[in-house]
Structure 1
Amino acid sequence: MQAENFVLDDYLKRIRYAGSAEPTIETLTGIMRAQLQSIPFENLDVQAGKIVSMVPEDIVKKIIYSGRGGYCYEVNGLFTMALAGLGFSFDLIGARPMFYPQRRPKTHVVLVVNIDNQRWLCDTGFGSFGLRAPIGLHQLGQVIRQDNETFALDKNERDEFVLKALVKGEWANQFGFDLQPMEWIDFSLANYYNSTHPDAIFVKQYLVMKQHAQGRTLLSGSQLKKFTGDQENITEVSSEQLDDVLWKEFSLRR
């Protein structure tokens, strides 16, 4: 997936990345971290009653040139453009969110990147306890520390990969996936669901998140949560305070 208005140098400036451009795991890690710490995950358009555009040029204009973020299709879509421009080989994969009490459809998108006969799971758009760097599929069963957070990749009884995060001392399933590649157009129905369905979490409440070197800042509904190491600070945000919080914490305007 590419866009006519995508310029790699502009993307790199947007994420403040000045490292190597060689298609290596070190570059992949650096690019992913830089994007996560520069571009917020956000659903402001959905909360404004809009259907999120899947048009590649719209994604580029919104995130690179208008200073916005986006949810999984947008931020991971932009990430694919960057990886293609840098010469990486990868597949788009549908993922099933697994933190709900019932089994849900594959409404998330991740990337599996191929480097020197190894495959790496990447995701810049999960919005909560998401990865902070790539995880290799060959690391199945290992406990992996990324900054102050802990992850593991497992397999379930359906032979799906399952990403788990250690949350308050307990392992919590985040999403499951197989290795069947999908095309960009295949995510259009899931995007419509996430933009419009009353059961979709993005329709129900604000979800805005950005990682930083020590943790992450998350606006979930009316709660602003700041995670730093093992510390969690929660404050209530009133409707009158919302615009100030969006700008101060995420550099976003509605």
Structure 2
Amino acid sequence: MSNAYLIESNNAVVAIDTLMLVSEAEAMRAYIDKIAKPLVAVFITHAHPDHYNGTATLLNGLGDVPVISTEGVSQCIAKVITAKDTKWRPHFGDDWPRDILLPTRIVTDNSVLTFNGINYSVHELGPAESDSDLYIIVGNKKPVVFVGDVVFNQVHSFMNDGHSLLWLKSLDRLSSELKDIELLFTGHGQPGASLEVIEAQKNYLITYRRELSNLLASETQLTSLELKNSIEEKLSALFPNYDMIGFIAAGANAVAAEIISARLDSKTL
């Protein structure tokens, strides 16, 4: 369900994200080998393992290919490597990579890099869907944009990092900055018309927060499990065609903590 992308130009290939498992990264590498053009760069959009975990596998034997991201993304990956390995290796076994490669080329906001005549403009968002997000505008005359997991399309959102308000602010920024870019490539789900899928993502986050806030305000004190079950029931009914229903309950505690913290802050003003 996670997306990674290959951008093929006349004489080169650039990757955006590298998937999670060894088998996935090997399949991606096999596709690159079939293209028979050199992989000249890898961009990492954020620090969730389904987007960076496969980097070492993808680059095995290819030499010094730059892995490009921001300092924020790099630091976040470094912080979670051990915890993610402890959590997921028992489940995936040898399909979970043993080598995790951090970004090797750090760029700052508004950096523009050119590979085989194509411009890649990196824009840092900070915390949004994850603890550090970015987006990349690719192309010259008619550019497109890759936003990682800042936009999901017809997929329930991963809310576990607890930045839903900042995420909404980032989406407002995208609405402004991407208004002239027609095509947006998501981290989960199909590509779509930029402003259309951004607005749909906003609506999802606003709806999730509203429904969860109503549950928290209920006179009935819900346990954590009851809260998760209730929000899953509500969101799955409101978005019946969305994939990854398990993401709904997974993020409930994190977003609830956000909402409760905001209420406490307002009472102290």
**TM-score above 0.5, yes or no:** no
TM-score, normalisation: structure 1: 0.29
Larger Rg: 2
TM-score (structure 2 length as normaliser): 0.28
Q: Which has the larger share of strand?
A: 1
With a CA cutoff of 8 Å and minimum separation of 6, indicate the structure with the bigger relative contact order.
1
